[in-house]
A and B are shown apart, each in its own frame.
Chain A
Amino acid sequence: DTAVSQTPKYLVTQMGNDKSIKCEQNLGHDTMYWYKQDSKKFLKIMFSYNNKELIINETVPNRFSPKSPDKAHLNLHINSLELGDSAVYFCASSQGHLGNTIYFGEGSWLTVV
């Protein structure tokens, strides 16, 4: 009965590959996010969608493309993976956009070799 679920949890892939991380929330929230926690442990927002509409797009390379087919899903597709993309990616959701309590998924550990 996980509220925010993301798959895969662990992903090891080679440089240059394209990969996707899927996220689904069953909380009925209208806003979803992708956060990245890098090697320095900073948790930084990448994207935010409210009712399937992109409302935040931080300075993230174009190789990262989020897709929200509906309010309950926000997938992250990454093209041409680079070593520096290795990080933990957290999906999250909230009711109402921004400034509200957000609920995180368990994280997806991406390692690019």
Chain B
Amino acid sequence: DQQVKQNSPSLSVQEGRISILNCDYTNSMFDYFLWYKKYPAEGPTFLISISSIKDKNEDGRFTVFLNKSAKHLSLHIVPSQPGDSAVYFCAASGSGNTPLVFGKGTRLSVIA
């Protein structure tokens, strides 16, 4: 039972354009959401997070939007750069003894 879903396994975007990666979750107890980026042969690295008390968090070219009523979050990257090409994992957790639950990842390819 996937509590965190990333329905697009891959996404291709032209350099300079916006990349939008989507994530849906089913557990209404989740209150903290994160995005991780993973290059081949490396571990996932933390990118940006958002808590459920906010609906937007911005860090440079990266912005995460949270729509609690739709149980949906998205990561916007603008402008996209070739170095952004990686697999992006969405993760979520709830308060208490709940571990991070990860989505399956979306492979982003930014084409020069």
Contacts and interface: CB of A to CB of B under 8 A. Distances in A.
Q: A and B: partners?
A: yes
Interface of A: 4, 33, 40-45, 48, 55-56, 90, 92, 97-99, 101-107
Contacts of B62: none
Contacts of A43: 44, 89, 102, 105
B93 interface: yes
Contacts of B105: 41, 43
Contact of B102 (A42, A55, A98, A105): A42
B45 interface: yes
A106 B41 CA distance: 7
B49 interface: yes
B8 to A, nearest CB: 13
Given A43-B89, A99-B94, A101-B34, A33 B99 contact: yes
Contacts, number: 53
Secondary structure of the B contact surface, majority rule:
loop
B104 A40 contact: yes
B44 to A, nearest CB: 5
Contacts of A45: 99-100
Given A40-B104, A98-B93, A99-B93, A90 B44 contact: yes
B43 interface: yes
B99 A104 contact: no
B34 A90 contact: no
B59 interface: no
A43 to B, nearest CB: 4
A63 B93 CA distance: 28
Contacts of B99: 33, 45, 48, 56, 98
Contacts of A40: 104
A103 B46 contact: yes
A77 B105 CA distance: 28
A101 B44 CA distance: 12
B43 A105 contact: yes
Contacts of A107: 41-43
